[in-house]
Amino acid sequence: MHDTHRRIFLQSAAALGLAGLSMPLFAAGKVRPSDKSALIVVDVQNCFVDGGTLPVKGGADVVPVINKLSTAFENIVLTQDWHTQGHASFASAHAGQKPFSSIKLGYGNQVLWPDHCVQGTEDAALHKDLKLPSAQLIIRKGYHKGVDSYSAFEEADRKTPTGLAGYLKQRGIKTVFVTGLATDFCVAWTALDARKAGFEAYVIEDATRAIDLNGSLAKAWKEMQAKGVKRIQSSDIEISA
């Protein structure tokens, strides 16, 4: 399926520079990203920081961490939540429902959110302080009105791919490092789907922040650990001076 609205190839690399284990699974020692590694920056947008429509506590704090990490990576992909007006994930689209409640949709359980990250709004824009001059691709997700999409790899119906897995495999990528917002939703789903697609996956914990809705953060870490996602800190990444 060709989906030109989904993937934005960044022609100018400078574009963004201008604008089941009992214990957590930690990586041992320093990790040196190679040309077979990719940094995935998930949904670092105005809507998810203070002043946005669905702010994640401390969301903007990930920006300088991600900027520093980016210098260690040749391959960088960003995602962007990109909802239509009246999206199925919005509480306002369902009479009598309130934000942060849950309902059943055709593809399963859906948390209902405040209206957020609406296409073409400043709220949906990437954070202005992101400095990622080697970023090559933006994956837009959640823009099909009837289905949400937390993962960078696959929509919530679990059958509609974004094309990211193929893009990475064509470039010989073997390992992904996931950062961004929010740890317990889009970051976790992205890391889990990376494993499902055959990639080694790390989540860089201090380059993420969580919503933590009714214990969702602990649940997400447990699920990621069970699937072999490695939990590390930015200090575990070897960055050249």
Q: Which pLDDT score is estimated for 174?
A: 99
Q: Is 98 among the residues known to form the active site? A: no
Confidence of residue 240 (pLDDT cuts 50, 70, 90): confident
Q: Which pLDDT score is estimated for 23?
A: 42
112 pLDDT exceeds 80? yes
Q: Which pLDDT score is estimated for 229?
A: 99
Per mean pLDDT, which range of 43-47, 218-222, 236-240 is the poorest?
236-240
Q: Is 43 among the residues known to form the active site? A: yes
Please give the Cα distance from 124 to 129 (Å, whole number): 14
pTM of the model: 0.89
Q: Is 141 among the residues known to form the active site? A: yes
Q: Which pLDDT score is estimated for 42?
A: 99
**Averaged over 134-152, what is the pLDDT?**
95
Please give the Cα distance from 160 to 150 (Å, whole number): 12
- Among 149, 230, 215, smallest CA distance to 184 is for 215
**Averaged over 44-55, what is the pLDDT?**
98
Q: Which pLDDT score is estimated for 1?
A: 42
**Averaged over 132-136, what is the pLDDT?**
93
* Active-site residue, from 43, 81, 123, 184: 43
* Active-site residue, from 131, 186, 193, 230: 186
| Pair of tokens at residue 30 | 């320093």
**Averaged over 33-40, what is the pLDDT?**
98
Pick the CATH number of 7-85+117-236 from 3.40.50.2300, 3.40.50.850, 1.20.140.150, 3.10.20.740: 3.40.50.850
**Averaged over 155-182, what is the pLDDT?**
97
Q: What is the pLDDT of residues 171-189, one digit of tens each?
A: 999 999 999 999 999 999 9
| Pair of tokens at residue 38 | 């990719």
Q: Which pLDDT score is estimated for 132?
A: 96
40 pLDDT exceeds 90? yes
Q: Which pLDDT score is estimated for 20?
A: 38
Q: Which pLDDT score is estimated for 25?
A: 55
Who wins on pLDDT, 76 or 12? 76
Peptide bond into 182 cis (omega under 30): yes
203 pLDDT exceeds 80? yes
227 pLDDT exceeds 90? yes
Cβ–Cβ < 8 Å for 170, 54: no
Question: Quick count: other Cβ atoms within 10 Å of Cβ 235?
Answer: 10
The mean pLDDT of the chain is: 91
* Active-site residue, from 81, 115, 131, 141: 141
Please give the Cα distance from 195 to 179 (Å, whole number): 15
